[in-house]
Amino acid sequence: MSVDLKKTATNGHEKILIPQEQQGKINEMRKLIGPLSGKALVYCSDASIARYLRARNWNVKKAAKMLKQTLKWREEYKPEQIRWEDVAQEAETGKIYRSNYIDKHGRTVLVMRPARQNSKSTKGQIKYLVYCMENAILNLQQDQEQMVWLIDFQGFNMSHISIKVTRETAHVLQEHYPERLGLAILYNPPKIFEPFFTMVKPILETKTYNKVKFGYSEDQNTKKIMEDLFDLDHLESAFGGNDTTPFDINKYAERMKEDDKKIPSFWTRETSPSSVPIDVPSLDSIKLDTDSDASDNEKIVRSSDSVVDTGLVNPDQNSTNQEDLNASAAVH
């Protein structure tokens, strides 16, 4: 499968613009946003503005409104000022942490274990999530914008989740971290979780919902996909990998404290206005069977270098029927 980048096209309902068109939209956005300084100026790189534009299907006015709301939120919430000591209590069970490996596309991996929830505080949980997001972004490779979530449901029951926290989580991620999630794999979710997922679907934007896949340890298709996405020697055994090293809060705390030292330079760095990723189909474009126009052949994960068949189970089915698990094609 190839993509012609010489003309404006659509990817489902999402526009694909050539670089010159992208830059024109970005320039329009800058005019609407107005003069910036300090951390807001650093935040509003061309690449960042492009993410907001993609989130709003390249509608400049909608994207500008969204970005202005984020700038206001960042000024008030100050996510870049959160440090390990502020969230250490929330983190101590290992319910969310940044893994020490990346996927084969260079994306940061956040591991989540809802059964290890140790807090009733919505404010505390969201603050820790924001810290984890900021840390994941801090550690992204230079040519990568997105991350992967691996969600382990071992030991899970419905007491471990909250509609209120889920709603606030969706709001923060969708409104203030657009286009940062590339793929979320819900690993071995129990049957009791499926009604909950159906219930929260309305609060998820379609693009976010389409990035969520269910995977099962006994499913051969899932195993193949995990092999395609990760180095199994580094991937944790909970997700079918070979690493049996348990989470160590003390070692993780040291990693995070070292990362905290990088934050000041991150927010005083010089940005390159021209460094905007080409808007080709990417790893965030995952179709679910619940889409009316989706088919097995459309359930793919795309990267800037290749198109890789995901084959992971979606929330509305417990198995997959795809035969060509590793189909790929160059994006021209």
Classify domain 9-77 at the CATH class level.
mainly alpha
C-alpha to C-alpha distance for 148 and 91, rounded to whole angstroms: 19
Task: Note the pLDDT tens digit of each residue in 195-225.
Answer: 888 888 899 999 999 999 999 999 999 999 9
CB 125 within 8 Å of CB 90 = yes
For the chain, give the mean pLDDT: 81
Task: Note the pLDDT tens digit of each residue in 301-311.
Answer: 333 333 333 34
Task: Note the pLDDT tens digit of each residue in 86-97.
Answer: 999 999 999 999
End-to-end CA, the chain = 9
Residue 75: band (very low, low, confident or very high) from pLDDT cuts 50, 70, 90? very high
In this structure, of 40-44, 136-140, 206-210, 302-306, the range with the lowest mean pLDDT score is: 302-306
Check whether domain 80-263 has CATH 3.40.50.300, yes or no: no
Q: Which residue do the tokens 């590793």 mark?
A: 326
Q: Domains of the chain: which residue ranges?
A: 9-77, 80-263
Could you give the angle at the alpha carbon of 280 between the alpha carbons of 210 and 272, nearest 5°? 115
pLDDT of 18 reads: 84
Task: Note the pLDDT tens digit of each residue in 77-120.
Answer: 999 999 999 999 999 999 999 999 999 999 999 999 999 999 99
